[in-house]
Chains A and B, each alone.
Chain A
Amino acid sequence: MGFAMRQDFNYGEFVKRGSFRHEYINGKKNGFSFQAILGYYRGHYLSDIDLLEVWLDGSKLPDEAVSFELNGKELPVWKLKYAVTEFWSQVTPATIHAILPGGVSAGEHELELKLMLRVPYMQIGPEHNFMPLDSGEKCTIEVAE
């Protein structure tokens, strides 16, 4: 990956600590959620998101098992690029949901959110070429039963 801007307002925290939750399907642990913090001084339309992936312990979750929830609306990843009217404020964390059959076991895990955006007013080259913004993070989480 080439150069990407990072803004460090939240001391490098883009996956909100303490936000991990198990998610249940029909009463059984079958996934998880956590909150994502937008790492920029202003908000962005969701259409500025170029990449969103969730990785757990080194494995990427399938795109269709991941969704993005903001302001009471839940979007599959593929819709983000078309979400030209959904505005994500930098002070409103979004919730990332992931379906994982069997859920996450108790103990330490490595969670990675890959989140890349365009800074849509910072054109750095000809045509559609804008400053990349890295708002992702790899972190270790302690999961309770």
Chain B
Amino acid sequence: MGNVKLGVTLFCYGTEYKRYQYDFEECVRQAAEAGATGYEIVGTQMIPSYPSVSDEFLGLVESCRKKYGIGPVGYGANNDKGMLYDRNLTDDEMLASAVLDLKAANALGCKVMRVQYMMSPAAFGRLAPYAELYDVRCGIEIHNPETPASPNMQAYLEVIRQTGSKYLGFVPDFGFLAVAPNRPMWLAALKNGVKEEHLELAAQCRREGLSQAEATEKVMAAGASPAIMTALSGMYGFVQFHDRRDLPGLLQELKDIIPYSFEMHGKFHYIDDDGNEASIPYDEILPLLRDSGFDGYLICEYEDELYCGGAELTRRQLAMEKRILGA
């Protein structure tokens, strides 16, 4: 499997954690049992003293490491540009907040930090000297609907090249490689009374490049239930998908960005009984990753759109990754 290391973001267990079914330790235990050799922690989700990391929490992290053999390797930062009621944070404020995230990542022993693209390219560039001091490499998350070649991401690439820092790069999220509609949203729409033929029509509109407004008009004219709107907005938003014919080009975009990538987010929404992700073609992505020489963590990340909990599907995702990577 080359130098690809398998990890899990504890975000996968966000539903169980929110429902008090799992505490932090149980999330770590589940990740270890699924086969992860390290985990990502989202600061705003699971650090009780956020944005600071308390000694008590560090003690818990270490005790889990002793018991289950794994510890934090990635820190998921949130870059809350909209946290003030009346205006956006300035670049100076975004930068200063991210420095505290670096401090937290460093305290936890993480060597990689996911940064969201709310932080402007200019502010991101200014993060480099701090990232070097803390020895934490910072990667802008490339999240659907962005792709590595989209103008927003290219603006970061330019800054990365300008700074020349080995501490600034990317964390691609494989959600951008989706080539089929999001399965949970599809299932939820069916459950809400939407007819499958209308969902198929919406997907066809998306594939043919119609705008969201045009697609909406077309499905409504065909008599679709208004409950289709959530699935249809998803097709044009954070869970958008591409036509399968676009896949070679998207894989090439991934290949081009790998030298600048510190960590991969192995996004998944649904793993069927045969162990396949319904919309993201892992059997084509992972061999490319393995053969690219990528040296880092593939952190699997479950988006629980069905609110059913992530433990079982995360085990399936890891098993699928191992199968494809030949581990």
Select A121's contact among B80, B84, B85, beta carbons within 8 Å: B80
Q: Are A91 and B20 in contact (CB under 8 A)?
A: yes
Q: Are A47 and B45 in contact (CB under 8 A)?
A: no
Interface status of A48 (Cβ within 8 A of chain B): yes
Most central of B11, B15, B87 by chain A CB within 10 Å? B15
State the Cβ distance, B96 to closest chain A Cβ, in Å.
Answer: 12
Q: Are B18 and A121 in contact (CB under 8 A)?
A: no
Select A42's contact among B45, B51, B83, beta carbons within 8 Å: B45
Q: Are A42 and B78 in contact (CB under 8 A)?
A: yes
Q: Are A89 and B48 in contact (CB under 8 A)?
A: yes
Select B45's contact among A84, A90, A120, A123, beta carbons within 8 Å: A90
A81 contact set on B, CB distance < 8 A: 85-86
Q: Are B82 and A120 in contact (CB under 8 A)?
A: yes
A127 contact set on B, CB distance < 8 A: 88
State the Cβ distance, B237 to closest chain A Cβ, in Å.
Answer: 9
Q: Are A128 and B18 in contact (CB under 8 A)?
A: no
Interface status of B276 (Cβ within 8 A of chain A): no
> Which residues from 4 to 28 on chain B have a C-beta closer than 8 Å to any C-beta of chain A?
11, 14-15, 17-20
Q: Are A10 and B18 in contact (CB under 8 A)?
A: yes
Q: How far does the alpha carbon of A28 sit from the alpha carbon of B222 in the complex, in Å?
A: 62
Q: Are B81 and A50 in contact (CB under 8 A)?
A: no
A118 contact set on B, CB distance < 8 A: 82-83
Select A84's contact among B15, B20, B50, B84, beta carbons within 8 Å: B84
Q: Are B118 and A123 in contact (CB under 8 A)?
A: yes
Known: A42-B45, A43-B50, A127-B88. A10 touches B83 (CB 8 A): no
Select B80's contact among A10, A45, A50, beta carbons within 8 Å: A45
A82 contact set on B, CB distance < 8 A: 85
Known: A41-B11, A43-B45, A43-B50. A121 touches B88 (CB 8 A): no
Nearest-CB residue, chain A, relative to B238: A122
Select B18's contact among A41, A84, A120, A130, beta carbons within 8 Å: A41
Interface status of A8 (Cβ within 8 A of chain B): yes
Contact with A along B86-119 (1 / 0, CB 8 A): 1110000000000000000000000000001010
State the Cβ distance, B241 to closest chain A Cβ, in Å.
Answer: 20
> Which residues from 1 to 58 on chain A have a C-beta closer than 8 Å to any C-beta of chain B?
7-10, 41-45, 47-48, 50
Q: How far does the alpha carbon of A25 sit from the alpha carbon of B215 in the complex, in Å?
A: 58
B307 contact set on A, CB distance < 8 A: 7-9
Q: How far does the alpha carbon of A102 sit from the alpha carbon of B326 in the complex, in Å?
A: 70
A90 contact set on B, CB distance < 8 A: 18, 45
State the Cβ distance, B98 to closest chain A Cβ, in Å.
Answer: 12
Q: How far does the alpha carbon of A120 sit from the alpha carbon of B17 in the complex, in Å?
A: 22
Nearest-CB residue, chain A, relative to B116: A121
Q: Are B42 and A42 in contact (CB under 8 A)?
A: yes
Interface status of B252 (Cβ within 8 A of chain A): no
Nearest-CB residue, chain A, relative to B48: A89
> Which residues from 29 to 50 on chain B have a C-beta closer than 8 Å to any C-beta of chain A?
42, 44-45, 48, 50
Interface status of B165 (Cβ within 8 A of chain A): no
B50 contact set on A, CB distance < 8 A: 43, 87, 89
Interface status of B292 (Cβ within 8 A of chain A): no
Q: Are A120 and B42 in contact (CB under 8 A)?
A: no
Q: How far does the alpha carbon of A70 sit from the alpha carbon of B47 in the complex, in Å?
A: 16
Interface status of B212 (Cβ within 8 A of chain A): no
Q: Are A130 and B85 in contact (CB under 8 A)?
A: no
**Chain A residues within 8 Å of B, Cβ to Cβ:** 7-10, 41-45, 47-48, 50, 81-82, 84, 87, 89-91, 118-123, 127-128, 130
The 6 A-B pairs with the shortest beta carbon distances in the complex, nearest first, are A120-B80, A120-B82, A130-B82, A81-B85, A9-B18, A42-B44
A and B contact pairs by CB, cutoff 8 A, 20 listed: A9-B14, A9-B19, A42-B44, A42-B78, A43-B44, A45-B80, A45-B83, A47-B83, A48-B83, A89-B48, A89-B50, A91-B17, A118-B82, A118-B83, A120-B81, A120-B82, A121-B78, A123-B81, A128-B82, A128-B88
**Chain B residues within 8 Å of A, Cβ to Cβ:** 11, 14-15, 17-20, 42, 44-45, 48, 50-51, 78-88, 116, 118, 307
